[in-house]
Structure 1
Amino acid sequence: MKTDIITELKTTREGFLNALALSDHSNFNTIPFEGSWTAGQVAEHIYKSIDGMPGLLSGDAKPTERDPNMMTAGLREMFLNFETKMQSPDFILPSDEPKELASLTQQIGDTLNGIIEAGQHIDVNLTVVGFEFPNAGPVTRIELLNFVSVHVQRHAHQLKQIRERL
């Protein structure tokens, strides 16, 4: 279980960074079609969603009083269904300001590396203290790792769609 998600996160990191690398300075902040984010906004959204995760994963946790993977299948199904349009919580919405490709690529890569590193050294079955999924409640570390993976995969797919439209 733990080894599988760590391996998946490494693959997900590479896939996202490779998709991001298909952008360049000339199109990183270009809206590809009406209602879409730019590649830069996708990158900022991902960074906002994972910033602080290494500390959260390594931080306070308590014994879990339910199946530690109770929400994993639902998260995976929801986020990997690319036909479903989702609404981001306000606190991780990207701004309309132009983004810097190299800086965001570095920040995202470093943060994903920190998440992978943290994931290798924690008991993934514990419940995270001080963080809950919106509308879902307390979350375990394994569920949080799965969320990071499928959320980043979803937006790697979005980056590829953006690239095709530019």
Structure 2
Amino acid sequence: MEKQTINAPGHNLPEPLTISLDSTINELMQVIASIKPADFNRLPQPGSWTPAQHLEHLRLSLQGAVSTLNGPVKVTPRSPDQYVDAIKGIFLDFDAKYPAAPTLIPDDKDYDKASLRDELSSVSEKLKEIVRNQDLTGTCLAPEFTGIGLLTRLEWAAVAIYHAYRHVHKLNAIVQDFTTSAGS
């Protein structure tokens, strides 16, 4: 990852990660718009999540990230971006499967597309504001990231971004599958 940071006051997020945040949120909103209403709460295959459940999982995750980023921190005795590349590798390995944390498992119900989109947009804006205005060098006191431990605010921002991108990738694949199966 490039170490150059944005030179504006309040900005200490490495520039490529800031760009990734905006890009990922824009892609998320585009994929939501591309999901047909009839497909929003439709299972792509048995044992999987509907597009709506993926989005609810992501909403819960982003809300957790906002809460973590607004939580208490301590001084970081290492490079604040030490684990960003590892986090990126974990979430962008699209062949790997990871179980969702129990608190991030979406309810098995039908969701309203407009409401869920609006909630995701709102929590995304909160995340953007935090990463642009807070000092991201402090280590968050909780929670621990499985396999790594305590992360800095910068690293939790990376978790939020790359996790969101992982679901954008999955949702694009689901939309493509729905489109292909409709044409068969």
Tell me the TM-score normalised to structure 1 length.
Answer: 0.93
Counterpart-to-counterpart distance in 1, 2:122 and 2:54: 17
Q: Secondary structure of 2:24's match?
A: helix
Q: What does residue 134 of structure 2 align with? A: 122
Counterpart-to-counterpart distance in 1, 2:65 and 2:95: 27
Counterpart-to-counterpart distance in 1, 2:49 and 2:143: 27
Q: What does residue 45 of structure 1 align with? A: 57
How far residue 63 of structure 1 moved from its aligned partner, in angstroms, is 0.6
Q: What does residue 168 of structure 2 align with? A: 156
Q: What does residue 8 of structure 2 align with? A: none
How far residue 52 of structure 1 moved from its aligned partner, in angstroms, is 4.1
Counterpart residue type for residue 129 of structure 2: E
Counterpart-to-counterpart distance in 2, 1:86 and 1:61: 27
Deviation string 1:44-94 (CA, Å, 9 cap, x unpaired) is 000111114334323322110222222211110111011112211111011
Q: What does residue 147 of structure 1 align with? A: 159
Counterpart residue type for residue 105 of structure 2: L
Q: What does residue 120 of structure 2 align with? A: 108
Unaligned runs of 5+ in 2: 6-12, 179-184
Structure 1 contact 39–162 (Cα < 8 Å) conserved: yes
Unaligned runs of 5+ in 1: none
Counterpart-to-counterpart distance in 2, 1:163 and 1:95: 21
Structure 1 counterpart of 2:73, from 40, 61, 66:
61
Structure 1 contact 41–94 (Cα < 8 Å) conserved: yes
* Larger Rg computed on CA atoms: 2
Counterpart-to-counterpart distance in 2, 1:61 and 1:85: 30
Counterpart residue type for residue 139 of structure 1: L
Q: What does residue 86 of structure 1 align with? A: 98
Q: What does residue 28 of structure 1 align with? A: 40
Name the count of aligned residue pairs.
166
Counterpart-to-counterpart distance in 2, 1:103 and 1:39: 14
Tell me the TM-score normalised to structure 2 length.
Answer: 0.84
Map 1:128-143 → 2, pairs under 5 A: 128-143=140-155
Counterpart-to-counterpart distance in 2, 1:47 and 1:55: 12
Please say if 1:7 is aligned against 2:32.
Answer: no
Higher strand proportion (structure 1 or 2): 1
Counterpart-to-counterpart distance in 1, 2:100 and 2:66: 21
Q: Percent identity?
A: 27
Higher relative contact order (CA 8 A, sep 6+): 1
- CA RMSD in angstroms comes to 1.5
Counterpart-to-counterpart distance in 1, 2:42 and 2:85: 35
